[in-house]
Chains A and B, each alone.
Chain A
Amino acid sequence: MKKSVLSAMVVVLLLGLSGYASFFIAPTDAKQGLIYRILFLHVASAWTGLTSFFICFIANLLYVLRRQPRWDWLGVSAGETGLVFTTVVLLTGPIWAHPVWGIWWTWDARLTSTFVLWLLYVSYLLLRTLVEEPDRRALLSALFGIFAFIDVPLVFGSIRWWRTQHPQPIIMGAPGAGLDPTMYKVLFFTWLAMLGLMTLLLRQRYRLEAMRGDLEIIQRELEAA
């Protein structure tokens, strides 16, 4: 069996198990009831998105230092994958917020910084469509990607530094804050499954970007011929 098929099957199995654990193993929250179960998708997607943006940041730094196309390919792939996970965060958050807060959205520090993060990475991808010359496009987007990553610590710190409508952190937060131990285990398992999904998507997206590199070489050869 091909390695890629096997790894996809493992990820699907992990995602299935995490879905089962989210609904049937994690206990129901005493205050919020069933609605809190969105946490497992929402928080795990948020952590995975930030992990992907971190990979994008490292790839952008390496491109600026080494100017090798593979770092540009990894940067754009991780940026796009991170954007997908952050989109899920921004869509599932309001669905959870509405029954609990009575509002879909508020411009507090966490929600605003996350929305700005989403806009920054949309801009990062749009910027790439505006520059045709490959080396210039890679350098400009790498520099912009490094700048965009500045918002990630702001997202992380927003619920620690300011009073927000968004709940306080469930890890590395104030003393006494946190989750039931079983909820923690399910959350970390779901994050592991999401990291598996991120790796699959990232690998596929990287392959696409590498093929674009090949296409540009062939086009140049054709023009020269």
Chain B
Amino acid sequence: MKNLNSVFAAYMIGWTVFFVYYISVSRRTMALREEIERLKNSLSRGK
């Protein structure tokens, strides 16, 4: 099983990059949704 550590490292790093990106997009989407809701509320209060 020569180089098993390298193969494991490559797959772990690869999947971590995809996972971190997915989490980053989800968090940005959630933050933006909250911001839109907040602004919509202040817009309806102003009318």
Asked if residues A201 and B21 are in contact (CB atoms below 8 Å), the reply is: yes
Known interface pairs A208-B25, A208-B29; A96-B6 also in contact (CB < 8 Å): yes
In the bound complex, CA of A222 to CA of B46 (Å):
9
Nearest chain A CB to B47 CB, angstrom units:
8
Bound: A45/B29 CA distance, A: 25
Name A208's contact: one of B14, B28, B39 (CB within 8 Å): B28
**Of all chain A residues, which has the CB nearest B39?**
A218
Contact among A42, A88, A204 for B17, CB-based, below 8 A: A88
CA A41 to CA B14, docked complex, whole Å: 8
Chain B interface main SS type = helix
Q: Check if A87 is an interface residue, CB within 8 A of chain B.
A: yes
**A–B Cβ pairs within 8 angstroms, 26 of them:** A33-B2, A34-B2, A35-B7, A38-B6, A38-B7, A41-B10, A41-B14, A88-B18, A91-B17, A92-B10, A95-B10, A95-B13, A99-B6, A201-B22, A205-B25, A208-B32, A211-B32, A211-B36, A212-B32, A214-B36, A215-B39, A218-B43, A221-B43, A222-B39, A222-B43, A225-B47
Contact at A95–B2, with CB atoms within 8 Å?
Answer: no
Closest 9 CB pairs of A and B: A35-B3, A95-B10, A92-B10, A38-B10, A88-B14, A218-B39, A84-B21, A208-B29, A211-B32
Q: How far is the CB of B45 from chain A (nearest CB, A)?
A: 10
Chain B residue nearest to A87 (CB atoms) is: B17
| Interface residue? A136 (CB, 8 A) | no
Which of A197, A201, A208 has the most CB atoms of chain B within a 10 A radius of its CB?
A208
Complex contacts, B1 vs chain A, CB 8 Å: 34
Q: How many residues of B contact A (CB 8 A)?
A: 29
- Closest residue on chain B to residue A37 by CB atoms: B7
Q: Does A70 belong to the interface (CB within 8 Å)?
A: no
Q: Are B3 and A92 in contact (CB under 8 A)?
A: no
Give the nearest-CB partner of A91 in chain B: B13
* Contact mask for chain B residues 7-47; partner A; CB cutoff 8 A; 1 contact, 0 none: 10111011001100110011011001101100110110011
| A95-B10, A208-B25 given; A84·B17 CB < 8 A | yes
